[in-house]
Structure 1
Amino acid sequence: MNQGTFINKAKASGIIALDLLDYKPTTEIVELDIKEHLFMGMIVKEKEFKESIAAVDFSVYKDKAVGIICSTDAIIPPWAYMLLMEKLSPYAIHVDLNNAETVLLDLWKRRLTYADLKAYKDQKVVVRAQASHDPSLYLLAAGLLKPLVKSLMYGEIGLPKVIFKQ
């Protein structure tokens, strides 16, 4: 009986995978709801707002990314955000006026944008599929990889969907 050698066709294809999870930030992201510092949860009264902010221990935000939100439909003057940034800047590594989910996505895109992708130059690359990833990550990855790669695919190495070939 002839016993052939097992050939791993996926490995033999020369396709390399890019996993977007490798670029996901590991920084803890927290939200700061400024509603807690508003008069009646709705109104910015300068003196009360400044006193409330002064009483906060901002060191709890050390080495974290902070998404500033307001869970009520209040009108917040720009100086209030500037005051928050002044208090957060010695501690937080990133501050944005968004919820935690949006801050995570923005940081993830930033990490991908500034990643060293030279290893993918002139290669056959598949961007691994993950249903839970935001589609904007795939859009960004395609834009970054297209000028570099020989072919770009989506899915898994064994059964990729070809996006483009040179």
Structure 2
Amino acid sequence: MSSDMPVNKLDASGIVAFDLIDYKPDLEVVVFDIREHLYMEMIIKEKEFRESVGKMDYTAFHGKAVAVICSVDAIIPPWVYMIIGERLHAYAAYLSFKDPVELETELWAMNVNNVDLSAYKDQKVVVRARAGIPPALYMLAAKRLAPFVKTLMYGEVGMPKVIYKK
């Protein structure tokens, strides 16, 4: 009888996975639409705008990432963004003039940029393929990992596509 144990080829490959989903932001992204504070949903009238944002309850934005948008085509003077920023600053965990998807991608990229990659030094690393991850994050992962890794791959540990090899 043979005492040879089966070898797990995945474990033997020495490939380490880097999963972008692990760095998805925890912050809930909510929208602040300037349109709701425009006169006739078209223009800024300073007095009416200041009254509108002054009587607003900002507690719904507490601890959240706020995507400031204007869902109508209107000319918004820069001081409007300053007023909105000043009002939201005390409540929002993060604030930017971006649509919600762009804001989430920005937060996600910040998380990826803050990862300590020393554990991946001289390793064979596969960036896992996942649905719904913005392409910009795959580009960022390649940029960040390439200087550290021996081999950079994409896909799954069992069937990766080689991207870069030292």
| TM superposition score normalised by structure 1 | 0.96
1:20-39 Cα distance to aligned partner (Å, 9 max, x none) = 00111010000011111000
Residue aligning to 1:27: 27
Structure 1 counterpart of 2:103, which letter? V
1:8-157 equivalent positions in 2, closer than 5 A: 8-157=8-157
RMSD over aligned CA atoms reads 1.2
1:105-153 Cα distance to aligned partner (Å, 9 max, x none) = 0100111011111111111100000132111111000000000011100
Structure 1 counterpart of 2:24, which letter? K
Moved over 4 A (4+): 1-4
Aligned partners of 1:117, 1:85: CA distance in 2, in Å?
Answer: 34
Aligned partners of 1:138, 1:99: CA distance in 2, in Å?
Answer: 20
Structure 2 counterpart of 1:150, which letter? K
How many angstroms does 1:3 deviate by?
Answer: 7.5
Q: Which runs of 5+ in 1 are unaligned?
A: none
Aligned partners of 1:118, 1:57: CA distance in 2, in Å?
Answer: 45
Aligned partners of 1:107, 1:46: CA distance in 2, in Å?
Answer: 32
Aligned partners of 1:93, 1:121: CA distance in 2, in Å?
Answer: 33
Residue aligned with 2:49, SS: helix
Q: Which runs of 5+ in 2 are unaligned?
A: none
| TM superposition score normalised by structure 2 | 0.96
**What is the aligned-residue identity percentage?**
53
1:38-68 Cα distance to aligned partner (Å, 9 max, x none) = 0001110000000000011112211000000
Aligned partners of 2:50, 2:41: CA distance in 1, in Å?
Answer: 14
Aligned partners of 2:3, 2:121: CA distance in 1, in Å?
Answer: 38
How many angstroms does 1:5 deviate by?
Answer: 2.0
The number of aligned residues is: 166
